[in-house]
């Protein structure tokens, strides 16, 4: 905890000066982010760092495995769904990025036998959102090394989450009107490289300007 407090003091006394004007503008004029970033809670995947973006640029939600639960209007509390609705209906973001990553602990844990207890019940349920992707990956390359299957699962899962996004009326409507574009990313922790899902090629390709104008 002391490390966090030390970090805050360094931010307040040194770093904050670099943001004075930006924070003044954001405080007085509000936020106007163009992109919703849905990433993994993993401490190694920091949205603002990997996109070199500033405060105010990204509306962010992170969860274990960067999953998007399908639209399900009931009486439960739905944090990710609420972020999606707020970002599309209120902020009117133009892009939603779902970003998976290498060495994902959420994906890895789906390949382990874990007993459900009161201490992990929510996590186990949450991870079931990646189950279909795991099945597809195992079918795709049944004899591949486990690391390859995990990487395939991560990538296939990103594509599934993009499909889940379209179950939200606020997303579907804006996508159909071409006011909103959905992007599937795969970030490699070690190299820092980002691949993006190409709908035309049905595979992940290096990110490029051409890709950015050709999304669903």
Between 174 and 183, whose beta carbon lies closer to Zn ion?
A: 183
Q: How far apart are CA 125 and CA 107, in angstroms?
A: 13
Ranges within 8-47 binding Zn ion (CB under 5 A): 40, 42
In the bound complex, what is the minimum distance in angstroms from residue 156's beta carbon to Zn ion?
A: 15
Task: Determine the size of the site formed for Zn ion (CB under 5 A).
Answer: 4
Between 106 and 195, whose beta carbon lies closer to Zn ion?
A: 106
Q: In 3D, which of 27, 93, 22 has the Cα closest to residue 60? A: 93
Range list of H helices, 36-130:
47-50, 79-85, 105-109, 121-127
> Which residues does residue 101 pair with via DSSP β-bridges, in sequence order?
187
Of these, 38, 87, 104, 196, which contacts Zn ion (CB under 5 A)? 104
In the bound complex, what is the minimum distance in angstroms from residue 47's beta carbon to Zn ion?
A: 13
Between 104 and 180, whose beta carbon lies closer to Zn ion?
A: 104
In the bound complex, what is the minimum distance in angstroms from residue 103's beta carbon to Zn ion?
A: 8
Strand arrangement, sheet containing 181-187: 58-63, 35-40, 95-101, 181-187, 194-198, 203-206
Between 42 and 151, whose beta carbon lies closer to Zn ion?
A: 42
202 φψ region: left (φ > 0), alpha (ψ -120 to 50), beta (else): left
In the bound complex, what is the minimum distance in angstroms from residue 42's beta carbon to Zn ion?
A: 4
In the bound complex, what is the minimum distance in angstroms from residue 10's beta carbon to Zn ion?
A: 28
Q: In 3D, which of 155, 161, 200, 205 has the Cα closest to residue 182? A: 161
Between 137 and 175, whose beta carbon lies closer to Zn ion?
A: 137
Q: How far apart are CA 184 and CA 64, in angstroms?
A: 16
Contact window for Zn ion (CB under 5 A) among 21-29, 103-111, 128-136, 188-196: 103-111
Residues lying near Zn ion in the complex (CB under 5 A) = 40, 42, 104, 106
């Amino acid at each position: 905890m002391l490390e966090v407090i030390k970090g805050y003091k360094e931010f307040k006394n040194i770093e904050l000066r670099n943001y004075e004007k930006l924070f003044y503008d954001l405080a007085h004029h509000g936020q106007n982010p163009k992109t919703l970033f849905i990433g993994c809670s993993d401490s190694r995947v920091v949205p603002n760092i990997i996109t070199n973006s500033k405060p105010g640029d990204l509306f962010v939600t992170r969860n274990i495995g960067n999953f998007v639960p399908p639209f399900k209007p009931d009486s439960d509390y739905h944090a990710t769904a609420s972020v999606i609705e707020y970002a599309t209906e209120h902020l009117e973001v133009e892009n939603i990025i779902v970003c998976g990553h290498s060495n994902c602990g959420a994906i890895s844990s789906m390949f382990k036998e874990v007993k459900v207890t009161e201490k992990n019940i929510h996590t186990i349920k949450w991870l079931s959102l990646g189950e279909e992707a795991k099945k597809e990956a195992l079918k795709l390359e049944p004899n591949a090394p486990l690391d390859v299957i995990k990487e395939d699962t991560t990538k296939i899962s990103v594509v599934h989450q993009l499909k889940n996004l379209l179950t939200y009326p606020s997303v579907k409507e804006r996508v159909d009107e071409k006011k909103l574009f959905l992007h599937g990313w795969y970030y490699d922790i070690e190299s820092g490289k980002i691949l993006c899902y190409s709908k035309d090629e049905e595979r992940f390709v290096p990110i490029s300007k051409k890709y950015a104008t050709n999304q669903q």
